[in-house]
Each structure stands twice: as C-alpha cells, then as structure tokens.
Structure 1
C-alpha cells in the first residue's frame, strides 16, 4: 500500500514538474519569437522598402553612351541598391507574359521605352527623398519620364510606423503575460506542498532554509524550460532561413546571441522571483488558512 502511494506521489510530482516546465517553455518561446521580431522589424521594413522600383524611361533618341553613363552614375550613387537596364524588347516580352498575349501583334509596333529600373537603399526610401531623386533624373534631356508607385510607398511608410508601435506595445503585454503565466504555474506547484512548508516551519526551520530547495528546483525547471524554448526557436529560425533566406534572420550572430541569452536569463529570473514570492506567501499564512 505504501509503495503504491509512493508511486502515486512520484507520478504527481513528475506531472507537476512537467506542467511547470512546459508552461515556461511555451511562454519563453513566444517571448523569443517576439524578441526576434522586435530586433528584425527594421530589417524586414528595409527589405520591403528596397522592393520599391524607380523606373527611368528613356527617349528613343537617347544615345547608348548616354544610357551607359546614366546607369554607371546610378550604380555608384549612395542611394542606389541596384540599377538594371531593361530594353524595350525585354519589357515587351515581360508585359506579354503578364497579360497572356502578344500585344505587339495587335498594335503592329512596340510602344514601350527602354528603361533603367532602380531599387533604392532603404535609408533613402521616403516620399520626399524619392521625389527629389526622381526630379533630378527627369531633368536629363534624354529621359522621357521617371515613375514609381507612390501610393504603395506612402502606404508602406505608414504601415511600418504602425507595426513598429504595435510590436513595442505587444512586447510589453507579452512580457507581463509571460510573468503571470509562469508565476501562476509555479504557485500552483508550491501550493501542493504548502503543508510540508508549514510543517518544516513548525519544527524550527528558518524561512531561508525552507525557500532554498524550492527556489533551486524551480530555477532548474526554468533552465530546462528555457532550453526547450531555445531549441524550438532554433528550429523555427532554421526553417525560416531555409525557406526565406532573403530575410537574413541569421546574418547577425550577435543579435541571435542576445536573444537566446535573454530568453535563458529571463527563464531563470522569472522562476526565481515567482518561487520566492510564492513560498513567502505560504510561509506567512496561519495554519488555519492553509485549508482555503
């Protein structure tokens, strides 16, 4: 009978430890994802900004030497990420593929212009700066027109600001939720041992002596939960980097070390603080209050 009871208690203890570890791991994983998102928000915003294309359409009378000089000057400009010449024939071929038919057969000629497609560095992608660059390029005598998707740029700029503010708010909320969830799991775990705590106190054990094993046990659970969270986070990063390498999520090792270290230390810190206050609460309770 006693062995059966011991096995039951052991299973109950393991179940309690498992639930605490799982709760810590899930919460820390979400915090890690959020941390990566916060640190990479600007990188993601820059990636989308650099997809905005400034098209410099050239007059049919433009000489080849003028076009070459313009392209070289654009490549060397500090605001340029890439500058690619697109011939009118290549542009017609792309347009035909997009619409699914050869429009030149219907028109009898190619109405498109030779152009240079310019992608700007993210730091120069704002409405005012792009307007200034477009005006400067359009002032050249052999340039027919300079165009870009202004509504998309304005929408992108506005949304980047909104997303940045939203992520900062979400970070604060999730950090608070993380603390409350981990704290709740640890308190429930310690609640089941409240009579042991009071018994030790009644036989003369000091508060620090009673707290010590609980704190050490939950710190180890916090470390284990953090390790599980970090392994899951590493798996997610591997998947994203393999399928979306253009995001460059693993290009900055210092950033990854900071996030992983932060998650690990946060798991220890929250476990330490939560255990301290949870045990302190039961240490300060009267014996009669333990039943409620």
Structure 2
C-alpha cells in the first residue's frame, strides 16, 4: 500500500515538474521568436528595401563605351548594391515570358530600350534620396529616362516604421504575459506543497531554509525549460535560414549570443523571483488559510 502511494506521489511530482518545464519552455520559445524579430527588424526591412530597382533607360544612340562607364560608375557608388546591364533583347525575352506570348511578332520590331537596373543599399532607399540619385543619373546626355516606383518606396518606408513600432509594443506585452504565465505555473506547483511548507515552519525551520530547496528546484526547471526553448528556437532559425538564406540569420554571432543568453537568463530569473514570492506567500499564511 505504501509503495503504491509512493509511486503515485512520484508520478504526481513528475507530472507537476513536466507541466512547469513545458510552460516555461513554450513561453520562452515565443519570447525568443519575438526577440529574433526585434533584433532582426532592421535586417528584414533592409532586405525588402534592397529589392527596389531603379531602371536607367538608355538612348539608342548611346555608345558601348558610355554604357560601360555608366555601369562601372554606378557599381562603384556608395548607394549601389548592384548594377546590371539589360539589353533590349533580354528585356524583350523577359517581357514575353511575363505576358506569355512574343509581342515582337505583332509589332515587327523591338520598342524596348537598353537599360541598367540599379539596386540600392538599404540606407539610401527613401523618397528624397532616390530623387536626388535619379536626377544625378538622368543628367547624362545618353540617358533616356530614369524610372522607379515612387508610391511603393513611400509605402515601404512608412510601413517599416509602423511595423518596427508595433513589434516593440508586442514585445513588451508578450514579456509581461510570459512573466505572468511562468509565475502562475510555479505558484500552482508550490501550492500543492503548501502543507509541507507550513509543517516545516511549525517544527522550527527558518523561512530561508524552507525557501532554498524550492528556489533551487525551480531554477533547475527554469534552466531545463530555457534549454528546450532554445533548442526549438535554433531549429526554427535553421529552417528559416535554409529557406531564406538572404536573411543571413546566423551571420551575426553577437546578436545570436545576446538573444540566446537573454532567453536563458530570463527563464532562470523569472523562476527564481516567482518561486521566492510564491513560497513567501504560503509562509506568511495562517494555517487555517491554507484550506482556501
């Protein structure tokens, strides 16, 4: 009978520990995902900004030497990420693929122009800066036209600011929720041992002596939960990097280290503080209040 009761108590204890570890792991995993977004917001914004293309259309009278000089000068400019020459023949092929038929058969000639497609570095992607760059390029005598999507650039700049702001707000809210959830899990775990706490106190154990094993146990559970969260976070980041290598998530080791250490420390810190206050609450309760 006593062995059966001991097995029951052991299963109950393991179940309690498992629920605490799972709660901490899930909450820290979500916080880690959010932290990854916060730390990589600029990188994500830069990625989308660098997809913006300025098309420099050239006159038919433009000489090859002038075209080569333009491409080289653009490629060497601070604001340029890449400068690619696109001949009118290549442009016609691309256009035919997009519309699904060869428009040259209908027209009988190629109306398109030779061009240089310029992709800018993210720091230069704003309406004002691109206007200055476009005017500078258009000043060349052999340039027919400089074309870019003005409304898209304005919309992108505005949305990046909004998204950055709301990600920070969401981070603050989720951090608060994470603290509450982990605190609730630990308090429930300690609530089941409230009679043990009071019994130890009644036989003369000091508050520090009673708190110590609970704090150490939950710190270990917090560490395990943080490890589970970091493992899941690493797998998600690996999957994202595999499918979107241009984001280069593993390139900045310092940012990754800060993120992983922060998640681990947060798990341990919340566990420690929650356990301290939870045990303190039951230590301060009268015996009659333990039944409510």
The one-character-per-residue Cα deviations of 1:181-216 (angstroms, maximum 9, x if unpaired) are 000000000000000000000011000000000000
TM-score by length of 2: 0.99
The one-character-per-residue Cα deviations of 1:133-171 (angstroms, maximum 9, x if unpaired) are 001111111100001111111111111001100010011
Report the CA distance between 1:254 and its aligned residue.
Answer: 1.1
Aligned pairs (5 A) from 1:29-178:
29-178=29-178
Report the CA distance between 1:237 and its aligned residue.
Answer: 1.2
Which consecutive residues of structure 1, in runs of 5 or more, have no partner in the other structure? none
Aligned pairs (5 A) from 1:241-280:
241-280=241-280
Aligned to 1:214: 214
**Aligned equivalents of 1:237, 1:9: Cα separation in 2:** 39
| 1:19 maps onto 2:39 in alignment | no
User: What is the number of equivalent residue pairs in this alignment?
Assistant: 292
Which consecutive residues of structure 2, in runs of 5 or more, have no partner in the other structure? none
**Aligned equivalents of 2:241, 2:201: Cα separation in 1:** 54
The alignment partner of 2:111 has SS state of coil
TM-score by length of 1: 0.99
| 1:233 maps onto 2:233 in alignment | yes
**Aligned equivalents of 1:237, 1:69: Cα separation in 2:** 42
Report the CA distance between 1:225 and its aligned residue.
Answer: 0.3
Report the CA distance between 1:69 and its aligned residue.
Answer: 0.7
The alignment partner of 1:268 has SS state of helix
**Aligned equivalents of 1:155, 1:28: Cα separation in 2:** 34
**Aligned equivalents of 2:149, 2:109: Cα separation in 1:** 26
Aligned to 2:189: 189
Report the CA distance between 1:28 and its aligned residue.
Answer: 0.5
**Aligned equivalents of 1:17, 1:77: Cα separation in 2:** 59
Which deviates the most, 237-246 or 187-196? 237-246
| 1:9 maps onto 2:9 in alignment | yes
Aligned to 1:224: 224
The alignment partner of 2:146 has SS state of strand
Report the CA distance between 1:89 and its aligned residue.
Answer: 0.4
Question: Deviating runs (4+, > 4 A) in structure 1?
Answer: none
The one-character-per-residue Cα deviations of 1:94-117 (angstroms, maximum 9, x if unpaired) are 000000000011011100000000
The alignment partner of 1:8 has SS state of helix
The alignment partner of 2:56 has SS state of strand
